[in-house]
Structure formats: structure tokens, C-alpha cells
Amino acid sequence: MGPDSSSNQAVPWRKVLWEPQLFPDNYVDHRFLEELRRNEGIQQYRYWAVVKEAGFVGQQISCVAIFLTLWLYMEQTLLWSSLLSALLGYGLHQLLTLQTKLCSGHRTHLADLQSAAIFLSFTFGFSPVLKTLTESVSTDTVYAMSSVMLLAHLVAFPYAQPSPPGSLSLNAALFASVCLASRLPGSLHTFAMLSCALLVFALWPCLLQRLRENAPGHFPGACVGVCIGGLGGLGSQSLGGALFLSLALASVTFLCPLLLVRLQRHKDNIHGPWDEAEIHEDLSCLPKLTGAVDQTNYWRGQ
């Protein structure tokens, strides 16, 4: 309150700035703090619920580990394994779609087949070009670029709504895939690696999101399975890498949610008349008014 609040009691104070008053501009009366509100709209988190949601982050880290493991174990049989995985995943996705009774608004099987044929044709045709794309770049630089791009994929990945994946996250993962595929021995290996990258980074998040929406009871099991697969695959190549991955998964899945729940008790947001004004417009009657105006104009034209 201002210092002259007692001498101006006869003149009422108004919370306006466009009229001259006997009070200074920074004056407020006793009613100012009556509108104080604390922690308005704060959502209280439960530890195991946060752990369940954090499992999506952990499984995405494991997807990167699985992709790197497949690159280390690159053989021509990976192409057939990717094709079989794609068919199984597509069948499961269609099954979950049928359970939601929303098939009428989704793409047809012919459209999906056409999209897959176009992608595979272009990827196979450009595989020789992609194979020689980074021949003039040193291997250490290629590995460094791949590491940075995979890290950017994890940071920019839309974990709240991963279907479809974000453009930045997907492009970063595919760029890393192209860099790693260019160090493989042949064009067929490059084609198989890029096809596998599409399954891991583009199609799998969509299937997992559909599983989280329609079968939430199986979602934690899918995340745990992916994490075990990532640990097992990376552990077969490097025990140090598997240990680092296990520490990262434990931190993201269990330690970070614990810190979030513990620090939530110290949250103290205040809301009051000093907040910015929010304009809420009710546009529900707009179509009716528009129809009335159109009808009026019609009769005037008559």
C-alpha cells in the first residue's frame, strides 16, 4: 500500500490507469492480496504413475541401443527380419485399430501397400548413392555426427504424443542411419539398414502409442521388453555400454520420477490480479449469428 493511504480514505481508489487519481500509480488497497491464489491448477503426481510414463523414455533409449546393435550385427538376413517384423507390427496395429471401431476413418490396406512400395523402391534405388555419400568424410567424423544426431533424436522426440513422430526427431534419426549405413560393405546392407531405421524410429512409436491407448495393461510389458532387448543386444558387444545403458535407464525411469515427486512439495506458484489478462470468448453462438446475417442479406437481395 502507498504511504498516503490513510489521508485519502474519503476518495475511493479504483484499479484503473486511464484516469487521474489522488493516489500514486503503484498504490493498492487491502483488497489486492484477497485475490491471491496459490498453486492453482497444479496436478499432483504419483510416483509409480510417473515411472510408467517415464518407461516410454527408457524404451526409446533402448530403441537406439537396439538399432546400434543391429548395425553392429549387420548381415543380409536383417532385411528378411525387418520385413517379418514389419508384417507382424502392421497386423498388430490393424488389430488395435479394429478394437477402437475407427477403421472407417483410417487409410485402406491398398494405400498402406502403395506407400510401402514407394518407400522401398526409392530406398533401394538410392542405396548406391547413399552408400558413397560420405566416402570423403572420415570415419571418426561420421561416428561423431551419428552420435549427435541420435542424441538430438532422443531430446526432440515427442514423448507425450509420439504418433506420428516429430519431424525433427525423425529426420535426425534417419540422418544418423544414413551416416552409419554409408560405412557398411554393400548397397544391399545400406538398404536393409535404412529399412530397419524406418521400422525402429518411425513405425514402432506409432504402434506403441496405439498400444498405450487401446491396451494400457500391455504397455509396461512392451517397454520392459524393449529395454531388456536393448541391454542384451548392447551387452553382447560391449559390457561397458550395457552398464552405461542400464544406469541411464535406471536414472530416467526411477530416479527422475522420484525427484519430481519429492520436489513437488516445494512448488509454490502464486496467482492474483497482477497476472496478465486472459480474454475468453464464447464462439458457440457464432454459427447462428452468421446464419441469421446470411438470411437477412438474402431477403434484402430479394
- Residue-wise DSSP of 193-227: HHHHHHIIIIIHHHHHHHHHHH-TTTHHHHHHHHH
226-268 per-position pLDDT tens digit: 899 889 888 888 888 889 999 999 999 999 999 988 888 888 8
CB atoms within 10 A of CB 144: 12
Domain boundaries, the chain: 53-264
C-alpha cell of residue 25: 500509480
Question: Residue 265 corresponds to which cell in the numbers above?
Answer: 512439495
Predicted TM-score (pTM) of this structure:
0.66
pLDDT digits (tens, 9 = 90+) for 137-188: 888 999 999 999 999 999 999 888 877 778 899 899 989 988 888 888 778 7
Packing angle of the helix pair 77-99, 187-198 (nearest 10 deg) = 20
